[in-house]
């Protein structure tokens, strides 16, 4: 029997057309040629995608295709190609979810250690974790290093580069990363805490390999990387080769037509993210609370042997929302507040300490 991925698409089409539209999608996402011209019975039976179900969904329809697992070649770029390659160009089609056949995930790395590993490393077995960002881009290295030291002394767990800080002339990776790492290490020695630095990795494979060398040489253990910017298969290779924890950033994910829970939750986890950043509801982005909770579930739900991936809600968050976010997402979460801390100006150290304190407080209604 052919193992198949069950991919569900929401298609805007009239009821009279939906069966034909679903069959056309099955052809598009597999053999991409007229079935009448295929003489090979094995291809017709085991390679052509199959329409498994068609269900009404409001004004549209949810169509589930059975896509032969063998066509994905157990590889990230080809997996995504089979799921949403050509039909990404058809605006009436949205990819909603994928159920993988048993054992399929073993072909992919998954998170190196995920939530459990991060908690152990940060000596924080239970409480929600905290994260902030070094900003603004264009700042000299000294400013960013000083800010990192401040955040680490305030007790922030993970200090990441702003995703816009890459390898620009004003703070080149090779100068910035050792300086920031040293500032955090110094603060850690003072506080006895274990703050981690996650610098932005960007560029092509050769640049990324050089960045990994520089980062490891100075003791960095975590990388901030946008899988959609560097490429999904590159992300997988980073996971397999770099020996760094991976904090996934959603930049360029434009997940308007792939359900965010699938892309930022399930797929980024399958490909190896230890933690995944996503736009929290009520901030600068328009994701609904339901969408955000679905991302968190996709990142953490039991899935064969894959470690859980840490959900990291972000984007216009404030210290005032910490309790609500902890209640909504639970403690297996890392709260990321960047601009919301920096807006405090001279009161930044106090605001950062308040962020840390609010994450450590018992929630109202709990012991």
Quick check: 283 binds a second copy (CB under 8 A)?
no
Structure tokens at 118: 């991060």
> Which of 57, 285, 328, 353: binder of a second copy (CB under 8 A)?
285
Which residue stretch of 99-107, 117-125, 340-348, 355-363 sits at the interface with a second copy (rule: CB under 8 A)? 340-348
> Which of 40, 290, 324, 350: binder of a second copy (CB under 8 A)?
40
Q: Are 269 and 108 in contact (CB under 8 A)?
A: no
Q: Are 50 and 9 in contact (CB under 8 A)?
A: no
| Helix 76-84 × helix 232-241 angle, to 10° | 150
By CB under 8 A, the residues from 286 to 305 that bind a second copy are 286-287
Give the shortest CB-262-to-a second copy separation in angstroms: 13
Nearest Cα to 235, choosing from 115, 111, 131, 106?
111
Non-local (6+) Cβ contacts of 356 within 8 A are 130, 154, 155, 156
How far are the Cα atoms of 53, 132, 167, 316, 359 from residue 198, in angstroms, in the given order?
A: 43, 10, 14, 20, 20
Looking at beta carbons only, is 57 or 207 nearer to a second copy? 207
> Which of 232, 292, 310, 335: binder of a second copy (CB under 8 A)?
232
Give the shortest CB-16-to-a second copy separation in angstroms: 19
By CB under 8 A, the residues from 208 to 227 that bind a second copy are 226
Q: Are 317 and 334 in contact (CB under 8 A)?
A: no
Q: Between β-strands 93-99 and 4-11, what pairing exists: parallel, antiparallel or unpaired?
A: antiparallel
Write each residue from 91 to 120 as x if it is in contact with a second copy (CB under 8 A), else as -, in one continuous string.
Answer: xx----------------------------
Looking at beta carbons only, is 245 or 257 nearer to a second copy? 257
| Helix 322-329 × helix 289-300 angle, to 10° | 60
How far are the Cα atoms of 16, 72, 223, 351 from residue 314, in angstroms, in the given order?
A: 43, 32, 17, 17
Quick check: 164 binds a second copy (CB under 8 A)?
yes
Give the shortest CB-13-to-a second copy separation in angstroms: 12
Quick check: 14 binds a second copy (CB under 8 A)?
no
> Which of 12, 43, 57, 218: binder of a second copy (CB under 8 A)?
43
Looking at beta carbons only, is 214 or 230 nearer to a second copy? 230
Write each residue from 240 to 259 as x if it is in contact with a second copy (CB under 8 A), else as -, in one continuous string.
Answer: ----------xxxxxxxxx-
> Which of 279, 282, 307, 313: binder of a second copy (CB under 8 A)?
279
> Which of 6, 207, 323, 363: binder of a second copy (CB under 8 A)?
207
Quick check: 60 binds a second copy (CB under 8 A)?
no
Which residue stretch of 74-82, 183-191, 296-304, 322-330 sits at the interface with a second copy (rule: CB under 8 A)? 74-82
**Number of residues this chain uses to bind a second copy (CB under 8 A):** 86
- Taking the C-alpha atoms of residue 139 and residue 252, their distance in angstroms, rounded to an integer, is 23
Quick check: 137 binds a second copy (CB under 8 A)?
yes
Give the shortest CB-1-to-a second copy separation in angstroms: 16
Give the shortest CB-88-to-a second copy separation in angstroms: 3
By CB under 8 A, the residues from 309 to 338 that bind a second copy are 315, 338
- Taking the C-alpha atoms of residue 225 and residue 206, their distance in angstroms, rounded to an integer, is 15
Quick check: 231 binds a second copy (CB under 8 A)?
yes
Q: Are 296 and 333 in contact (CB under 8 A)?
A: yes
Structure tokens at 168: 């620009």
Give the shortest CB-33-to-a second copy separation in angstroms: 4
Quick check: 205 binds a second copy (CB under 8 A)?
yes
> Which of 284, 290, 330, 360: binder of a second copy (CB under 8 A)?
284
Nearest Cα to 320, choosing from 289, 343, 293?
343
Nearest Cα to 257, choosing from 28, 92, 100, 98?
92
- Taking the C-alpha atoms of residue 293 and residue 95, their distance in angstroms, rounded to an integer, is 18
């Amino acid at each position: 029997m052919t193992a198949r991925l069950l991919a569900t698409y929401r298609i805007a089409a009239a009821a009279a057309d939906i069966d034909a539209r679903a069959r056309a999608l099955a052809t598009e996402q597999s053999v991409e040629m007229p079935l009448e011209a295929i003489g090979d019975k094995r291809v017709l039976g085991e390679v052509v995608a199959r329409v498994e179900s068609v269900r009404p969904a409001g004004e549209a329809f949810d169509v589930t295709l059975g896509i032969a697992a063998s066509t994905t070649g157990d590889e990230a770029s080809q997996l995504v190609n089979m799921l949403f390659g050509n039909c990404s160009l058809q605006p009436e089609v949205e990819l909603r979810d994928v159920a993988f056949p048993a054992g399929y995930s073993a072909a992919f790395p998954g998170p190196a250690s995920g939530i459990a590993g991060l908690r152990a490393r940060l000596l924080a077995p239970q409480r929600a974790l905290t994260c902030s960002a070094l900003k603004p881009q264009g700042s000299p290295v000294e400013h960013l290093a000083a800010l990192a030291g401040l955040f680490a002394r305030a007790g922030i767990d993970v200090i990441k580069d702003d995703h816009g800080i890459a390898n620009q002339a004003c703070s080149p990776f090779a100068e910035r990363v050792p300086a920031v790492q040293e500032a955090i290490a110094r603060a850690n020695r003072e506080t006895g805490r274990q703050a981690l630095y996650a610098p932005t990795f960007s560029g092509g494979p050769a640049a990324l390999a050089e960045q990994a060398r520089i980062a490891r040489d100075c003791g960095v253990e975590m990388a901030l990387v946008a899988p959609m910017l560097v490429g999904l298969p590159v992300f997988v290779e980073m996971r397999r080769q770099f020996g760094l924890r991976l904090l996934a950033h959603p930049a360029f994910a434009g997940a308007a037509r792939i359900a965010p829970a699938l892309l930022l939750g399930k797929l980024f986890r399958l490909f190896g993210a230890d933690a995944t950043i996503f736009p929290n509801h009520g901030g600068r982005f328009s994701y609904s609370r339901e969408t955000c909770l679905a991302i968190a579930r996709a990142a953490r739900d039991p899935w064969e042997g894959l470690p859980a991936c840490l959900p990291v809600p972000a984007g216009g968050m404030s210290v005032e929302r910490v309790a609500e976010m902890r209640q909504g997402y639970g403690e297996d979460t890392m709260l990321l507040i960047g601009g919301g801390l920096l807006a405090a100006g001279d009161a930044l150290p106090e605001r950062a300490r308040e962020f840390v304190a609010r994450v450590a407080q018992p929630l109202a209604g709990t012991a």
